[in-house]
Amino acid sequence: MNIYVYVLRRILYVIPVLLGVCLIIFVLFNLVSPDPTLMLLGKHANLKQMQELRHELGLDRSYVVQYLDIVKSAFTFDFGRSWSTKQEIIEMIKNGAIPSLTVTFPAFLIALIISLVVSLFVAFYRGHFLDRAAVLVCVAMMSIPSLAYILFGQKILAYDLGFFEISGYEHGFPAFVPYVALPCIIWIVLSIGPDVRFYRTVILDEVYMDYVRTARAKGLNEKVILFKHILKNAMIPIITWVVIQIPFLILGALLLESFFGIPGLGGITLNAINSTDFPVVRAMTVLSAVAYIIFSVITDVLYTLVDPRVRLK
């Protein structure tokens, strides 16, 4: 099947999935969640005030209309205005995307490279002391809460030693570098543990396959087998793991941005949650769902590029 036809079919399959996701979001925000007017006005609000606010916010419209608004926003990215700031939500997202990416993208790229290199190294020395020590360190790193890394970094590395800025952000390169350096390092430390364990497991699953024993029987060098054959055949789960993380890069990091005062999408989302700004929270939820679906399609297409055994169907 032609790849363009395949992509078109996958996009058509996405439409009913997206409609279903919009329905779930509608139920969560309109039927399950508490009445936002009561949360905004407080427990002493009277019925008239609540009705007036419901009309002002458009919450008195029919459920069908409100559901169609969510569907429309998923396809047009027109999310309306924030309840708290009165800004266009799409403009808030545009303004927050760059600060988020200055933290998440370099950290993700560096963590990916380090994790793959370490995974290949421990897979090459599988069963040795280095392999066991690496697994032990990864488990230890994963066992420490992310908040502990943040507090340690701000108190010891930033405040006591003065290596980094404690919080804040400046737009433009290289002005933002001192402010995002420590959050990037913390992201990398948080990522290496689970990434190395996953990549190591995937690579070791391939190590014991029949084609590897055949390659060894032919006298191929162990490094050639590892890098040319094993890594290539392990790319499908690795691609899945990597590409599915990309939407979270775009949407920022809630804790890091909040603690370090970075005006990214993670901080915007957390502020919206704290201020009961439902339109912003709903917009970020819809954006997350759309990004996840899009990158799922990209993942399927990439499978065919790295593994000829996968056919477009």
Q: Are 82 and 279 in contact (CB under 8 A)?
A: yes
Q: Give residue 113's pLDDT.
A: 92
**What CA–CA distance (Å, rounded) separates 253 from 186?**
11
Instruction: List the chain residues with pLDDT less than 70.
Output: 1-2, 42, 250-252, 307-313
Per-residue pLDDT tens digits for 256-296: 888 888 888 888 888 888 888 888 888 888 888 888 888 88
Closest CA to 199 of 164, 161, 242: 242
Q: Which is nearest to 142 in space by CA: 100, 98, 178, 191?
A: 191
Digit-coded pLDDT (tens) for 49-89: 778 878 887 878 888 988 999 899 888 888 888 888 888 99
Q: Which residue from 52, 61, 54 is spatially nearest to 26, judged by alpha carbons?
A: 61
SS3 1: coil
pTM: 0.81
Burial of 7 by CB count in 10 Å (0-12 exposed, 13-18 middle, 19+ buried)? middle
CA 143 – CA 139 distance, rounded (Å)? 6
Q: Which domains does the chain have, with CATH numbers?
A: 3-76 (no CATH), 90-306 (1.10.3720.10)
Give the gyration radius of the chain's Cα atoms.
Answer: 24
Q: What is the pLDDT of residue 295?
A: 85
Task: Give the model's pLDDT for residue 313.
Answer: 56
- Give dist(CA 77, CA 174) in Å, integer: 31
3-class DSSP state of 263: coil
How confident is the model at residue 184, as a pLDDT? 92
Contact 50, 35 (CB under 8 A): yes
